[in-house]
Structure 1
Amino acid sequence: MRLHKEPTASPRMRLIMIVCLLPLVLITIGGLVLLWPDGPGQDLPGGGPMTNTAPDVSHAEARVTAVDASSCESDEPDPMLEADCVEFTAEVDGQEGSLYVTPDAIMSGVGVGDTLKVLDFTKSADHAEMGTDYVFIDYDRDVPILALAIIYGLVVLAVAGFRGLRALTGLGFAGVVLLVFMIPAILDSKPPILVAMVAASAIMVIALYLAHGVSTRTTTALFGTVAGIIITGLLGAWMTSWANLGIAYTEEGFLLTGTTNVSMADMIVCAILITGLGVLNDVTITQASAVWELATVAPELKSRQLFARAMRIGRDHIASTVYTITFAYVGSALATLIIISAHDQSFFETLTLGEMSIEVVSILVCSIGLVIAIPLTTGLGVLVVRSGLRRPSHNDETAPTPQ
């Protein structure tokens, strides 16, 4: 069997790609500079029990030391009643005190030895009025989540090796961009959609080259991802306006629209862009790799044949990725779906009302973006690969197939 070297783009094609890549990099850097948040961090009211606490009320880590249910009269426990009759004792920094646990936490099974996050009222002026020393906020999950993250990293490194390490580094960079630039810039009243586009571009450029190396193959995937992001952003902005989705349906939405200048319509488009980014990155790098691998094993294929064979892979990827997007959204909105299904209304009406309509539009917009990105990336990949291919001759070096 004849073994072929991996195809490379022609010098002219590489030059064209560099010329196209430079403006993208420069625009991204310019966008980061112009849109970088310059105001102080904004502290929103009503951010939950872990924020904006009253004076002399602090957060603490507590360990449950005793649970006394002797005051409960009912043989069949009712969480609402148990919240008043069950006495919990917790220890914070060596000091024991009474602990109030919410009914939902009682249902989850708070027991002796559990480590919890609590509000400490022992030094508050409202201590006597509260009638308890500590108030339950949530379980302390630092150790299990950190352990799971370590296991995840080890599995990635074990399977993907150095490339997995580069991918994890790119993921870390993406988190920094989101937390240090995108979210603060939106809170600083910068245009949310522009901020999301710049953040997505920065993540793509760094993460793709980190994970897959600097090559014409990676650059092809990058251009395909950029095209998909642009299509997704334009379609998302149009559908958000046409379907009148700029309404706050959640507590977080009410908080943002009531205390900041952030538009819910813009936030929806931003969410669509960031959601689509990961999926687009997946399909474009896969298609670029498919084209390169097919061209490596069958360099005699004409452009049309190469495109057709790569698109066979792409069509399978489209089907599986569309399922992935849909099930991811369904999983995140499962509680809402269960509640809505209990009402007497049609399935179509359920999907077009309130928060569910936002989910449906997000699924469809992201799916359209990735479906269009696949043939675009495939076509570009074929163009790049064919620019450096020549038909094999009898003088080509061959090597025996490894046994």
Structure 2
Amino acid sequence: MTSQHEPKASPRVRLIMIACLIPLVLVTIVGIVLLWPGNTDTELPGGGPTTNSAEGASSTEATVTGVDATACEAGETDPMIRADCTRYTVEAGGREGSLYVTPDAVKAGVDVGDTVKVLDFTQSPDRAELGTDYVFIDFDRDVPMLALAILYAVVVLLVAGLRGLRALIGLGFAGAVLFVFMLPAMLDGRPPLLVAMVAASAIMVIALYLAHGISARTSTALFGTVLGIVITGILGAWMTSWANLGIAYSEDGYLLVDTTDLAMTDIIVCAILITGLGVLNDVTITQASAVWELATAAPTMKPAQLFAREMRIGRDHIASTVYTITFAYVGSALMTLIIVSAHDQPLFDTFTLGDMSVEVVSILVCSIGLVIAIPLTTGLGVLVVRSGLRPQRQTAPTAEEDEPGTAAPLTRREARLLDRDRGR
């Protein structure tokens, strides 16, 4: 009968994997220490709507208590005009005052009872010139965002159980690496590509082993992800240079390039690496798991057959994940696509100019890294899993297993009895 126990890597292969893993971990730790940001309080000018240079102004939360549009003409729908003719009142800190609402917020709809984030000018000398106590910044979304996050965590725990909990902890660790180490280190002038590679390595090692356990299977996925990240990083750096993507096309890009030592090419490559990390992690762990499951079900299958069957799964995975990457980028750039689609411009020119060229390069580079990582991970998984499988030895058939008409060998006692009977 075929054993259904999960195959394990041979001691020699496990030793090789440990010998490769230890340097990776050590290099990651040393990289974090050497690249750790020295100045973690870097501030950029114009850092968002909640920062204001007006003396005495501060940000706070307020509740809309009144909306009076009687001064507007009947049927008026222009948000620019409605922003001027509508009177809004809010209550903040037990004090009521007037609120100026921006035209885009007027169009979105600000109603009585809404909690909004505002700039408080009640203590500012610019209050009289401004003509209002508060200025609308944004809606307060703390409750719905927190509720959605809790719902997500509950669904993950219900479906994935303890492994889902470990994955959520790994996600929290990844967020800490990004916001505590990677982003501050880039702002502090550390080499962006090295910072991104070290951050990606730290996230991979902790998140993979935490979510999937310490095993040869997980290590196979880790090495496949590392290879994919290296390929993605090299290809991304080459393409951003060759395609001349060093121009800032957005307000945020202008701010970073003008006020820091960061280059747009470095920012783009780092973005490609972090985007590719999540997708590569998905496909490599899935391919490694598929290799182990098939090897468990068919331990006598030859390595070439195992690789061929796993690549059938890999090809399906490639197709679906390439769609995932493309649609994710299209969704993030939807507003830009709507604007460019309104212009009479050839489609090829649309995708080779401005922000769209950055998006296209990101999609193609991540997809290439993904496609290459799947056969690499599959081949590595086949080598590892087959190293722990030993061919079954052929044992001599028993009397019950002999072919019909073939006599079973006689024992010495049976032979003596037979000779005695013949002598009679």
Question: Which bracket does the TM-score occupy, shorter chain normalised?
Answer: over 0.9
Q: Aligned to 2:137, what secondary structure does the other structure show?
A: strand
Partner of 2:14: 14
Of 157-166 and 1-10, deviating more is: 1-10
Partner of 2:259: 259
Partner of 1:135: 135
**1:155 and 1:40 mapped to 2: Cα distance?**
35
**1:78 and 1:161 mapped to 2: Cα distance?**
51
Q: Is the 8 A contact 1:7 1:385 kept in 2?
A: yes
Q: Aligned pair in 2 of structure 1 residues 250, 257: CA closer, same or farther (>3 Å)?
A: same
Partner of 1:298: 298
Q: Aligned to 2:97, what secondary structure does the other structure show?
A: strand
The superposition leaves residues 40-98 of structure 1 with CA deviations (integer Å, 9 ceiling, x where unpaired) of 41110112111344331111111000000011124232111000000000000111100
Q: Is the 8 A contact 2:2 2:299 kept in 1?
A: no
Q: Which amino acid aligns with 1:67?
A: V
Cα RMSD (Å): 1.1
Q: Which amino acid aligns with 1:167?
A: A
**2:39 and 2:143 mapped to 1: Cα distance?**
34
Q: Which amino acid aligns with 1:358?
A: V
Partner of 1:124: 124
Work out whether 1:219 is the aligned partner of 2:219. yes
Partner of 2:315: 315
Q: Aligned to 1:124, what secondary structure does the other structure show?
A: coil
**2:184 and 2:281 mapped to 1: Cα distance?**
24
Partner of 1:145: 145
Partner of 1:285: 285
Of 56-65 and 230-239, deviating more is: 56-65
Aligned 1:54-65 pairs, distance under 5 A: 54-65=54-65
Aligned 1:128-207 pairs, distance under 5 A: 128-207=128-207
Q: Is the 8 A contact 1:45 1:52 kept in 2?
A: no
Partner of 2:37: 37
**1:125 and 1:119 mapped to 2: Cα distance?**
14
Q: Aligned pair in 2 of structure 1 residues 157, 394: CA closer, same or farther (>3 Å)?
A: farther
Q: CA deviation at 1:289?
A: 0.2
Q: Aligned to 2:339, what secondary structure does the other structure show?
A: helix
* Unpaired segments ≥5 residues, structure 2: 396-424
Q: CA deviation at 1:392?
A: 4.1
Q: Aligned to 2:44, what secondary structure does the other structure show?
A: coil
Work out whether 1:377 is the aligned partner of 2:371. no
Q: TM-score, normalised by structure 2?
A: 0.92
Partner of 2:95: 95
**1:349 and 1:368 mapped to 2: Cα distance?**
23
Q: Which amino acid aligns with 2:290?
A: A
Q: Is the 8 A contact 2:8 2:389 kept in 1?
A: yes
**2:391 and 2:335 mapped to 1: Cα distance?**
58
Partner of 1:28: 28
The superposition leaves residues 139-191 of structure 1 with CA deviations (integer Å, 9 ceiling, x where unpaired) of 00000000100000000000000000000000000000000000000000000
Partner of 1:249: 249
**2:380 and 2:393 mapped to 1: Cα distance?**
26
**1:12 and 1:287 mapped to 2: Cα distance?**
23
Q: Aligned pair in 2 of structure 1 residues 114, 279: CA closer, same or farther (>3 Å)?
A: same
Q: Aligned to 1:345, what secondary structure does the other structure show?
A: coil
Q: Aligned to 1:355, what secondary structure does the other structure show?
A: helix
**2:51 and 2:289 mapped to 1: Cα distance?**
46
**2:330 and 2:40 mapped to 1: Cα distance?**
37
**1:154 and 1:357 mapped to 2: Cα distance?**
39
**1:364 and 1:290 mapped to 2: Cα distance?**
26
**2:286 and 2:63 mapped to 1: Cα distance?**
48
Partner of 1:347: 347
Q: Aligned to 2:7, what secondary structure does the other structure show?
A: coil
The superposition leaves residues 350-397 of structure 1 with CA deviations (integer Å, 9 ceiling, x where unpaired) of 0000000000000000000000000000000000001000234689xx
**1:51 and 1:289 mapped to 2: Cα distance?**
49
Q: CA deviation at 1:39?
A: 1.9
Q: Is the 8 A contact 2:295 2:306 kept in 1?
A: yes
**1:175 and 1:353 mapped to 2: Cα distance?**
32
**1:51 and 1:363 mapped to 2: Cα distance?**
34
The superposition leaves residues 184-233 of structure 1 with CA deviations (integer Å, 9 ceiling, x where unpaired) of 00000000000000000000000000000000000000000000000000
**1:76 and 1:82 mapped to 2: Cα distance?**
7
State the aligned residue count: 395
Partner of 2:104: 104
Q: CA deviation at 1:312?
A: 0.5
Q: Which amino acid aligns with 1:321?
A: T
Q: Which amino acid aligns with 2:68?
A: D
What is the aligned-residue identity percentage?
Answer: 75
**2:315 and 2:352 mapped to 1: Cα distance?**
29
The superposition leaves residues 308-335 of structure 1 with CA deviations (integer Å, 9 ceiling, x where unpaired) of 0111100000000000000000000000
Q: Aligned to 1:323, what secondary structure does the other structure show?
A: helix
Q: Highest Rg: 1 or 2? A: 2
Q: TM-score, normalised by structure 1?
A: 0.97
Work out whether 1:233 is the aligned partner of 2:228. no
Q: Is the 8 A contact 2:98 2:132 kept in 1?
A: yes
Q: Aligned pair in 2 of structure 1 residues 52, 224: CA closer, same or farther (>3 Å)?
A: farther
Q: Is the 8 A contact 1:299 1:392 kept in 2?
A: no
